Amino acid sequence: MNLWKMDEARRGYDIASKGPGATPTAPLWQAMFDEGKQAYGKKDYPAALQDLQEVTRTKGVSKDVNGQAQRLISVIKDRQEQQKNFEQAKQLASSGQKQQAKDLFQRVVRAPNGDQDLVASAKNQIEQIGAIVQPPANINPPKTPPPPDYGPAIGETRGLIAQGRWDEADSKLSVVPQTRAEYGDLKRQIDGGRRDDQEFTQKKTEFTQADASKNKDALRGLRPFFASEANSGGRHNADARNIVAQIDNDAKEAEVVKPPEVVKPTNPAINAGNGDAAAINSVVQRFAKAYDEGNLPALRAVREYDPKVETKLPDILKKVKGTGYALRNCSPPQISGDSATTACDVILTKVPGVRPARTNIHLKNFDGQWIIISSD
């Protein structure tokens, strides 16, 4: 299996085959060293390297022979590297890369422990290549133009954003490379501002329609959005404050004052509670109906939402719509001043296998109207 042991085994076999009286004239490592030197003299470097390395690995070899073998191994490796560079330089010269070839031939000439025949051949190659004419240097190289200045465009874009002129800002920003650090933030401001304007315009249109028709429920549903805008300090806060004030005024004007009924209740407190209970039950059932139908305006009329939660309602309603959402077995409302709480079973009548879940519904009375404010 170890081919480098083959010669040693063969020599041992030759000695053994001569009989018990035969003795070797020299140690095996000496014979191997001699063969390595002969291969080295013939420039058979691979064979010489194999023999000499075997000598250094053999037990009992003399220090003198081991030292000579080590020195020859170092010379052989240098010459193999020299030979490799010489062949590579010839390839470069034949492919027209004369300067690279010349540099590599120079390395062959200066190689440590170099083969003098290769040194002579390398010098001859260098003479054949001759002097390499370098192209004349460009005395007046073209000047590199300065990088474009995008500062003015970025400044104008910021000014247009401050004015809410999104299309003009987008057009001005288009001349700025997207790799600029300012580009991403300015683009987000433009896209976000455009979305905010579209949402505000849509809500304002809904307000105009509800105000024209004196739809008190719709106005009540729109009020949280405009109240949030009025408190945000954004571009629409002044407009939103005016709309909130108008909604409040319209709500008061839309109230119909009923003449007092001539009733002699045996227990006025109980009768008043029964009226609130009926109103609360009506609000709860209108909420369930709007939720099942996916009717967002009707839902806003009976339920108050945080503006952040309200943005998610369209997606929620798509998932719940048509599932038979209903509130059943509601407990009598617990009324305390303007606040009330009732508990109902949430049932999905059209979804098999879903068990009812009990939920607490909290309401508040605004200007005589009960509104759901939360549930848990």
d(CA 107, CA 164): 71
pLDDT over threshold 50, residue 262: no
* Cross-strand pairs, 303: 372
Mean pLDDT calculated for residue range 34-59: 88
pLDDT at position 181: 86
Least confident of 207-211, 267-271, 313-317: 267-271
Confidence at residue 191, expressed as pLDDT on a 0 to 100 scale: 94
Helix (H, G, I), strand (E, B) or coil at 117: helix
pLDDT of residue 363: 93
- Which backbone phi and psi does 305 adopt, to 5 degrees? -120, 145
pLDDT at 176 over 70: yes
**pLDDT of residue 48 exceeding 70:** yes
Start and end residues for every CATH 3.10.450.50 domain found in the chain: 268-375
Residue 279 pLDDT more than 70? Answer: yes
pLDDT band at 365 (very low <50, low <70, confident <90, very high): very high
What is the separation of C-alpha 123 from the centre of its chain, rounded to a whole number of angstroms?
Answer: 59
Query: Which range is least confidently modeled, 93-102, 244-253, 263-272?
Result: 263-272
pLDDT attached to residue 372 = 93
Decide if pLDDT at 117 tops 50.
yes
Buried b (16+ CB within 10 A) or exposed e, 276-286: ebebbbebbbb
Is the pLDDT confidence value at 267 over 50?
A: no
Q: What is the pLDDT of residue 294?
A: 87
Q: Say yes or no to pLDDT of 345 above 50.
A: yes
Residues 37, 186: Cα–Cα separation, whole Å: 79
- Using the predicted structure, report yes or no on whether residue 344 has a pLDDT greater than 90: yes
Type of residue numbered 55: V
Is residue 258 very low, low, confident or very high in pLDDT (cuts 50, 70, 90)? very low
17 or 103, higher pLDDT: 103
Residue by residue, DSSP assigns 261-300 as P----S-HHHHHHHHHHHHHHHHHHHHHHHHHHT-HHHHH
Look at residue 14 and tell me whether its pLDDT is greater than 90: no
Task: Tell me the pLDDT of the chain averaged across its residues.
Answer: 83
pLDDT band at residue 312 under the 50/70/90 scheme: confident
pLDDT above 70: residue 359: yes
pLDDT at 260 over 50: no
The hierarchical CATH code for the domain 268-375 is 3.10.450.50
DSSP single-letter state for residue 303: B
Query: pLDDT at position 252, please?
Result: 66
Tens-digit pLDDT profile for residues 209-242: 988 888 888 888 999 998 888 887 777 888 888 8
Q: What percent of the chain has pLDDT over 70?
A: 84
* Exposure string for 92-101, b = 16+ CB within 10 A, e = fewer: bbeeeeeeeb
Weakest-pLDDT range from 47-51, 132-136, 203-207, 353-357:
132-136
Tokens of 243: 């709309």
